Chains A and B, each alone.
Chain A
Amino acid sequence: MADVILVDTTLRDGEQAPGFAFSRGLKVRLAALLDAAGVGQIEAGIPAMGPGERKTLCKIMDVCFQARVSTWNRLCEADIKNSLACAPHVIHICCPLSDRQIFCKLRSDRDKVMAALQRCIELAASGGAEVSVGFEDISHVTGQQLAQAATAAAQAGARRIRLSDTVGRYTPDAVAKAVRLVLRQGLEAEIHAHNDFGMAVANSLMAAYAGARYVDTTLWGIGERAGNCGMGAFTAALDRLEHHICAVSGQGAARLEKKAAPFIPRALLEAWNVPAAHTARCAFPAS
């Protein structure tokens, strides 16, 4: 059994990189490639975006043979209901956890957020899907806040905690500490690293060494700002360090990225340092 399970979020967080806009056909095609490459979980989209996105998610479910499909949701019961309509394997709920996210963005307080989290988890679990909770802006959260929230999530029925390093400021030692804290609550841990300081791969590796079983990646490392943890870079590093096994090897990820590149507009991928030889001139329709 693999030590590390890749959760590919190209179709959700990757697509949120400015400029990208995947059509339904493209998302389904990319999902099929990810599934064939051995990715364990595909974060396929946000059902709350509308009926079109929900239809896409259902099609993705149809083409995935081994990968589990997950949906991303805000901390909102309406979002969860939209997800339940798609019957994904995993329902992921994003929960802002830092003081600044709760007070500045949500304009709420911690008690209300925890109550909403409990309601959302229970609703999501009622459909039979596995529930994972992502704690947003985790690098600005204290150990005590994380422990309290993880306990509340576990009691409500969540099985996995995603440590979302929203602004990419985690350092490897802090990641390891947080992962161990989550594991101590009897939950599985997942790392979602951003590359704002060029440390997404290192933070993801460190999380895996500390016991996180799930690592979020995107093809070519695309994502908001400086991007996410790149699948090719992460699996190559994992192979090189030889401590953990992953269903997708470094070479396998490189092949996958090469296969998928011609489907994406060349101009977009060149901005992410993808070699021009991997992209196709015809992929970008004239606008």
Chain B
Amino acid sequence: MHTFQLLDTTLSLFSTAMRPGSYRRRPKFSREEFTPWAVKWLALLQDMGFFVEIPPDLPESIHAAAPNAPTVRQGTFYANQYEPLPDAEAGGEYITDTPGMDAGLPSDGQASWLRLRGCDHGLPYTECGFFDRLMPLRDVLEFCPGDQAGCATALAVLWLMRGGRRVAGSIGGSALHGPSSGPALEEVALCLENHEVQTGLRNLHRLPEAAALLHKAGFTVSSHKPVLGKQIFAVESGIHVDGIAKNPALYEAYAPESVGLERSIVVGKHSGRAALRLKAAQLGIDLPEAREGRLLAVVQKMAVRQQHSLSDRQFATLCESVNLPSGRKQRAVTTSTKSAATAKGATAAKGAKGATAQPEKRHG
């Protein structure tokens, strides 16, 4: 079976950034703090099935903790992307030692990889032999396309889909580390899985933990960053909410839980009746059909007035303002249990109502 390797170079990027005079964005911790952070990062990424490159200046204990992780060889260098491709046996460019690499690959006896960087302008040539030229080196070539033209992820995906074996990049990619850091590995991974290509990755629901670790290092992930962003599964527009209610896959390329995120419904200017119904159910509010039209008009008016969608609290207040009979019940529910606002809101609310009613009977 064809096996891919996605090599994360975050530790090397941080290590380089912490050297004096480096142009790279520095993480917000000292060398001493870097080591325990790196241990956590290494364990997390290896648990998800990514390969992690360890810079040589990290303590020996980290290398011992990850004997299979490739280590950057001292004294390697970056070659210009326009220079001819190096001979695999002669080495060159940027070489990584890969002890134990046969654990995940067919035993091909390869012990070193050539890293091909740059190629930012490669996209137009992918249809006229760009990858064909590289294919003879596919078992030793580690592709790390640059993102100056916003094409790094696409180039990495195409390389692997056409038979390449290994891609180097970083979690978060150029959005966090700059365009020379290669593709965002989480995007490459999810894209391949979406096309039913076996990546050998697992536990990708732990990706938010990686985002949290990056945040600790001072690298905040945008709320709408593909795969990692916390708000990518928020949905407002009526058509999309309706479609998701019928089949989430219609408007979601991958399930939220597969990447450790949650879906949420936002109520605002573009909401339709289906969105109001679902949101009301989430909050445990009974919404009579006759009131939907009036509520929708009020919701849209308020959203435009404040140039923003409504918070859950605002929505609940509006439900009360249109004289929904269950508004008061909802207040009772939310005070008695904070779990009312869950996906199974309607059921939970019914249960909670029952729970609050029983003691009343007993007291009575």
Contact = CB atoms under 8 A, between A and B. Distances in A.
Given A169-B191, A197-B194, A226-B224, A18 B154 contact: no
Contact of A202 (B153, B242, B314): B153
B304 A21 contact: yes
Contacts of B227: 197-198, 226
Given A173-B127, A197-B153, A197-B190, A226 B229 contact: yes
Contacts of A277: none
A18 B249 contact: no
Nearest to A220: B224
B237 A224 contact: yes
Contact of B150 (A18, A23, A101, A233): A233
Interface string A196-221: 11110111011001000000000000
Q: Is the interface of A mostly helix, strand, loop or mixed?
A: loop
Contact of A171 (B191, B233, B304, B305): B191
A101 B243 CA distance: 9
Contact of B222 (A137, A233, A241, A272): A272
A201 B150 contact: yes
A176 interface: yes
B138 interface: no
Interface string B120-131: 110110110000
A273 B240 CA distance: 24
A20 B127 CA distance: 39
Contacts of A271: 222-224, 231
Nearest to A194: B253
Nearest to A271: B223
Contacts of A226: 224-227, 229, 232
Contacts of A176: 127
Contacts of B175: 273
Contact of B247 (A105, A201, A224, A287): A105
A168 interface: yes
A74 interface: yes
Nearest to B173: A198
Interface in B149-165: 149-151, 153-155, 157-158, 161
Give the contact-size bracket for chain B: 35 or more
Interface string A164-192: 00111101110010000000000000000
A202 B270 CA distance: 29
A166 B218 CA distance: 33
Given A197-B194, A199-B191, A272-B224, A105 B250 contact: yes
Contacts of B150: 201-202, 205, 233-234, 236-237
A240 interface: yes
A143 interface: no
B124 A23 contact: no
Contacts of B252: 167, 225
A15 B191 contact: no
Interface string A246-287: 000000000000000000110110011100000000011101
A226 B235 CA distance: 11
Contacts of B183: 198
16 contacts: A17-B224, A18-B231, A18-B266, A21-B303, A22-B307, A196-B253, A197-B226, A199-B157, A202-B150, A202-B154, A205-B149, A222-B224, A226-B232, A241-B149, A284-B307, A285-B306
Given A100-B249, A105-B243, A271-B222, 15 more contacts: A21-B303, A21-B309, A105-B247, A169-B195, A199-B154, A202-B155, A205-B124, A206-B154, A240-B121, A271-B231, A272-B223, A273-B175, A273-B222, A283-B307, A287-B314
